[in-house]
Structure 1
Amino acid sequence: MTQNGITRRQHYVPDFYLQGWATDDGKVTAHDLQSLKDKKTFRTDPANVLVQSYFYEEDTANPDNRIENILSAMEGRTASVVKKVRAVTAATDVKAAAATLSRSLTGAGVDVLAEFAAYQYMRVPGAIEQKRYELQTSALDETTKTHHLNPGRFVEGGYAYVVDHFKAMKYLFFISSGQDFVTSDWPCFDMDEDNRGTLLGEEVGRKTDVVAYMPLTPRVGMVMYPVGINQASLNSRRWGASVQPDSFVRNQNTLIIQKAERYVVARKESPFIFAVAVKRRKSQPQSL
């Protein structure tokens, strides 16, 4: 909703992206991981989920829409590329879809997806809270921490800090042969081989044992590899595509569910989402 040039309801996961998970009625299914006992889900328009009032405003009493305008411009560029990915991978023949996607993407298109991933890596509440946790032992005083962790300042500065590393990475697009990829309120994140945990923005694109992941559509998962990693499907190329079985998709979906703050988004209700969520570390009672 925009009034006098100011967008009140500001998405931290854009609705153009979530529309990829919409069914014929234009709605997605959101799974609320805070309701593991009741397994609460709801059908909603993508415009009405993963959104907060004046989320990116540096001064909510005097909003200026500055960051929202930057993000809107980026989303406009990205939407056309994602639309192309959806169209190319709609083919029934998944091997042909993978080959066509690999062939039809351009360096400029991959750059746009890299920028989108870099923004999405930084712009969600979960990332901001992770950085707040990481700064607990820093020498910064609370006023300075609060200033830098304002979502608008955080996404702008964080994007500038990581975007070149995202652009330098190699991109492998995994095409599902059947089962849908799901997404969440924290759709782009990094991880390491040893599962020791990574520092937000400090290792992605820098360390060879750290990769980043983001589901791009229900049929396409995007994995970002640092230069130097041994990935036979890419060889010397910057991007490529391959077909993966349901077992791989389930593994990627498990990662998404484990990382999500509260909401996992899918095309339809999925008991698998809650079965994974109940076992994740975030769902366990915290000891005193």
Structure 2
Amino acid sequence: MNRPRRHHFVPRFYLEGFCADDARALAVYDRVRNAYRAQRPTEVAHRRDYYAYEDEHGNPVFTIEEGLGEVEGEASAVIQRVDNDALLSDDDRLTLATYAAFQFTRTPAYAAWVAAFRQEFARNARQEQVDALPEAPDLAADRGAALGAMLRHAPKLAHVFMHFNWTIWRRESDRQSFVTTDSPVCILQSERPEPNIYAGAGMLMPVVITVLPLSQASVLAMSGIGNRMDNRTLTRDWVRRVNLAVVSQAQHFIFGRDLALVQSLVRAAGIDRRQWRVPLQVN
């Protein structure tokens, strides 16, 4: 059966949540080309056969893409409920935790982290540590390794997210808007609100907030071990702070409701003047 050859590493339905209310176009900043443009969600954040692999006969297999599509379909309905101020059930939380985990692990930015980790480990580990690994470190850390890491890590990460306290951050009015990127799950340190930092702490540390913009109207914020579910309306200033932090950790693309907003955030965060680097530091 013929299948689409372009696979989106940021789901189309997700990007549509950041379109202008009266249009189906995104304001996009391309960090690699240092260029701004307006594009439809179907036209951005895709790579050829990114989630496909070959069977023993050399035929393309699309089961990973199909599984991600199921996760995205369920998450789309939950995000709509979030934006409509509905209470989330335990099943909704599991759906959103699973979606957030894949949003973190499915991106080229996460693949770059896998490669950096493997290379650093191979350089610094003692031989007995290398021998104790289930698989020897692969310096190439190719796309197959990245897909394997996604499939192994996402379920474990979803379990971690389920045991965090959650807060839904909402904009104060329709005149404000959250943005997102091709690396949408980012890590903030609550004690260091500067927007241009790369967090050097892990998700489980008490000063860390893990955030995922859900749409232009809402953001999922997770921090601390617990099962609280709260809501918080952010002022205009705090919406901008969140946007700056999200923009600062973008690898390639930034997506927003309008070009003026995206341009303002790019200039303020200064990412047009520095190259992207792996936000999760390898120590």
* Other-structure match for 2:10: 13
Structure 2: tracts of 5 or more residues without a match? 123-129, 131-135, 277-283
1:250 aligns with 2:240: yes
Correspondences of 1:115-134 after superposition (within 5 Å): 115-134=98-117
* Aligned partner of 1:84 among 81, 100, 105: 81
1:160 match: secondary structure: helix
CA gap 1:143/1:157 in 2 versus in 1, 3 angstroms: same
* Other-structure match for 2:162: 167
Contact 1:257 1:273 in 2 (8 A): yes
Amino acid corresponding to residue 74 of structure 2 in structure 1:
R
* Aligned partner of 1:53 among 44, 48, 68: 48
Contact 1:28 1:267 in 2 (8 A): yes
CA gap 1:191/1:63 in 2 versus in 1, 3 angstroms: farther
1:107 deviates by 1.9
2:258 match: secondary structure: coil
What is the distance in 2 between the residues matched to 1:280 and 1:170? 34
1:137 deviates by 2.2
2:98 match: secondary structure: helix
Which piece of structure 1 moves more, 51-60 or 124-133? 51-60
* Aligned partner of 1:41 among 36, 40, 46: 36
Amino acid corresponding to residue 222 of structure 1 in structure 2:
L
* Other-structure match for 1:92: none
1:240 deviates by 1.2
What number of residue pairs does the alignment pair up? 253
CA gap 1:33/1:5 in 2 versus in 1, 3 angstroms: same
1:68 aligns with 2:65: yes
Contact 1:21 1:266 in 2 (8 A): yes
Contact 1:56 1:150 in 2 (8 A): no
Contact 2:31 2:272 in 1 (8 A): no
CA gap 1:238/1:7 in 2 versus in 1, 3 angstroms: farther
1:135 deviates by 2.3
Contact 1:257 1:276 in 2 (8 A): no
Contact 2:266 2:272 in 1 (8 A): no
* Aligned partner of 1:261 among 247, 251, 258: 251
What is the distance in 2 between the residues matched to 1:220 and 1:175? 5
* Other-structure match for 2:228: 238
1:273 aligns with 2:265: yes
1:210 deviates by 2.7
1:177 deviates by 0.8
* Other-structure match for 1:232: none
* Other-structure match for 1:152: 147
Contact 1:58 1:153 in 2 (8 A): no
Contact 2:26 2:40 in 1 (8 A): yes
Structure 1: tracts of 5 or more residues without a match? 89-99, 229-236
* Other-structure match for 2:280: none
1:167 deviates by 1.2
Moved over 6 A (4+): none
* Other-structure match for 1:227: 225
Contact 1:258 1:276 in 2 (8 A): no
What is the distance in 1 between the residues matched to 2:68 and 2:3? 13
Contact 2:180 2:255 in 1 (8 A): yes
* Aligned partner of 2:213 among 202, 215, 223: 215
- 1:111-166 deviation digits (Å, cap 9, x = unpaired): 21111111101111011112212222213666465268633212111213312101
1:186 aligns with 2:183: yes
What is the distance in 2 between the residues matched to 1:211 and 1:189? 8
What is the distance in 1 between the residues matched to 2:106 and 2:210? 15
Tell me the TM-score normalized by structure 2: 0.80
- 1:13-58 deviation digits (Å, cap 9, x = unpaired): 100111111232311111122344xxx2211111111111110123
